[in-house]
Chain A
Amino acid sequence: MTPTAMTNEQSKYPGLHPLPPSFVREFPPVAVVVEEKCIACDRCPPLCFFDAIVMEHRSQHKYKRTAVVVTENCTGCGLCFEACPVDAFEWVPDKTPGAGSSKATGESERDLSA
């Protein structure tokens, strides 16, 4: 169920956690919950500003519930990574139609002297 996510070491896009993965040039990143890690603490759904995290029932899960990211709503803002006390979030490529339309910002944006 969990698609392959990049680890921090593999990322070519350094920064503090959460790190966007190296596939960011190809696909915009989107968050996903590693369900085995989730402790069903209910902290991420209220912190998500895009209604992109819901709690779902899982009869096999240790806590009977898990957080699930609704990919269509996720804007990849990274706030859920901050909410999670057990680091159960990972980045995966966002292949939702329309998500790939994000453009790289102009050079002026990168110019620190500006």
Chain B
Amino acid sequence: MLLTTSFVGLTLQSPVIVASGPASHDVNQIRLAQEQKAGAVVLKTACSDKYAHMRSWPRPRYKLLDWDKQIAGRSKAFSLYAYEQGYSGTLADYWQFIRVCKEHASIPIIGSIFADEAQEWRELAMKVEQSGADAVELDISSPHRPGSLGFETTFVAAIKAVVGAVVIPVLVKLSPGPDVVPQSLSAQECGAKAVTLCNRLRGVDVDIENQRPILHGYFGGIGGPWAKYYTLRHVAEAAQAVSIPISGTGGTMNGEDVIKYVMLGATTVQILSVIMINGWESIGQINGEIEQYMTRTGISSLDQIRGKALEAMTHPDEIIRWSGESKKGPRNIWTDDKTAEE
């Protein structure tokens, strides 16, 4: 009960949501998430027929970087380099997927879609709603897409079209980067009920022996525990600018990370890498860690700490500064070692 969170009109049993991806492409995974008391599940993204090639996946599509096999990933830092694609079935399969999830699961089910033309976005979103999903997330930011679709040119129209066509809440998932705040504001203006910050960064690693990028030779989505420091900042900045709730995602490994997101203004936190690496039990573990923190600090609701760190954030001009000048004299005289010894 401690963890009950209200988000876009839904009541979640926990602020921890399973993010869209390989942990939500199968109905049995929804069951596992529910058993672990996840707050909700964002299903894997379904692509419009125009992007049907995204339903086939390259093999292999994962590579763990900075990962120590010998200690089975107990290293605290790693990077998951993935060329993950969309939902592998047809759209009809996806609607059925949502229906089965809704029939059996009690936790909220959030559909996730991708298209390009506003009309297609609207149709997909309406089908998601008709299939029974509790909300829809617009995945306008996957790191694997060609990237030729602009936010202003394509996605603003898409958000407007979807918001005008469905009653269920609309979430917008944004890319990390300098545009997070303006895009969040724009999503809010268009009527989105929440923003998800952020999708994974698009990165690349090089195989220096073969002198080419690793895996299939293209950029991959890259995330890991280190990514939280960037998304925490994005959440903090966006939380100061927008009034709609924020679902923070990126690099969450434990309950502490969730609390950090909440303290910077996030309402819910989406997790994925940690489930892939440490298993489904990590959801229950994260929930337990949040509860422990709440009991220890004597708070009865996360609302009491939401945005607390944000309130304590200092303006850079207010940071106390002292002289940076050398007290020994001018620093623009080149001194070689001999002179230094003398």
Query: How many whole Å from A60's CB to the nearest CB in chain B?
Result: 26
Cα distance A11–B137 when bound, in Å? 40
Contacts A15-B215, A112-B218 given; does A82 touch B64 at CB 8 Å: yes
Interface size, B (range): 20 to 34
Choose among A15, A83, A105 the residue that contacts B214 (Cβ–Cβ < 8 A).
A15
| Interface secondary structure of B, over-half rule | loop
Choose among B56, B70, B73 the residue that contacts A103 (Cβ–Cβ < 8 A).
B56
Complex contact B56–A101 (CB within 8 A):
yes
Provide 9 A-B residue pairs closer than 8 Å at the C-beta atoms, listed in order of the A residue. A15-B215, A28-B59, A77-B57, A77-B61, A79-B276, A82-B62, A102-B56, A105-B56, A109-B53
Chain A residues positioned under 8 Å from B22 (CB to CB): 49, 77
Q: Is A16 at the interface (CB under 8 A from chain B)? A: yes
Query: How many whole Å from B127's CB to the nearest CB in chain A?
Result: 24
Complex contact A108–B146 (CB within 8 A):
yes
Closest chain A residue to B58, Cβ basis: A105
Question: Which among A46, A84, A110 has the highest number of chain B CB atoms within 10 Å?
Answer: A46
Closest chain B residue to A14, Cβ basis: B210
Q: Is B69 at the interface (CB under 8 A from chain A)? A: yes
Cα distance A73–B207 when bound, in Å? 29
Choose among B53, B60, B64 the residue that contacts A106 (Cβ–Cβ < 8 A).
B53
A positions within 8 Å CB-CB of B: 14-16, 18, 20, 24, 28-30, 41, 43, 46-47, 49, 75-79, 81-85, 101-103, 105-106, 108-112, 114
Contacts A15-B210, A16-B207, A108-B146 given; does A82 touch B56 at CB 8 Å: no
Complex contact A103–B61 (CB within 8 A):
no
Cα distance A81–B69 when bound, in Å? 9
Question: Which among B23, B60, B207, B214 has the highest number of chain A CB atoms within 10 Å?
Answer: B60
Complex contact A47–B276 (CB within 8 A):
yes
Complex contact B63–A82 (CB within 8 A):
yes
Cα distance A18–B207 when bound, in Å? 12
Q: Is B298 at the interface (CB under 8 A from chain A)? A: no
Q: Is B212 at the interface (CB under 8 A from chain A)? A: yes
Total A-B residue contacts, Cβ distance less than 8 Å: 87
Complex contact B218–A110 (CB within 8 A):
yes
Chain A residues positioned under 8 Å from B148 (CB to CB): 108, 114
Choose among B23, B63, B72 the residue that contacts A43 (Cβ–Cβ < 8 A).
B72
Closest chain B residue to A42, Cβ basis: B72
Contacts A15-B212, A49-B23, A109-B53 given; does A20 touch B60 at CB 8 Å: yes
In chain B, positions 47-76 with a C-beta closer than 8 Å to chain A are: 53, 56-64, 67, 69-70, 72-73
Q: Is B289 at the interface (CB under 8 A from chain A)? A: no
Complex contact B62–A15 (CB within 8 A):
no
Chain A residues positioned under 8 Å from B23 (CB to CB): 49
Complex contact B215–A16 (CB within 8 A):
yes
Complex contact A18–B146 (CB within 8 A):
no
Chain A residues positioned under 8 Å from B69 (CB to CB): 82-85
Cα distance A90–B107 when bound, in Å? 39
Closest chain A residue to B144, Cβ basis: A109
Complex contact B56–A76 (CB within 8 A):
no
Cα distance A78–B67 when bound, in Å? 14
Q: Is B277 at the interface (CB under 8 A from chain A)? A: yes
Complex contact B215–A79 (CB within 8 A):
no
Chain B residues positioned under 8 Å from A18 (CB to CB): 60
Contacts A14-B207, A16-B215, A82-B64 given; does A114 touch B147 at CB 8 Å: yes
Choose among B72, B205, B207 the residue that contacts A83 (Cβ–Cβ < 8 A).
B72
Complex contact A78–B59 (CB within 8 A):
yes
Complex contact A82–B53 (CB within 8 A):
no
Over the window 170-188 of chain B, the binary record of Cβ atoms lying under 8 Å from chain A Cβ atoms (1 yes, 0 no) is 0000000000000000000
Chain A residues positioned under 8 Å from B276 (CB to CB): 47, 49, 79
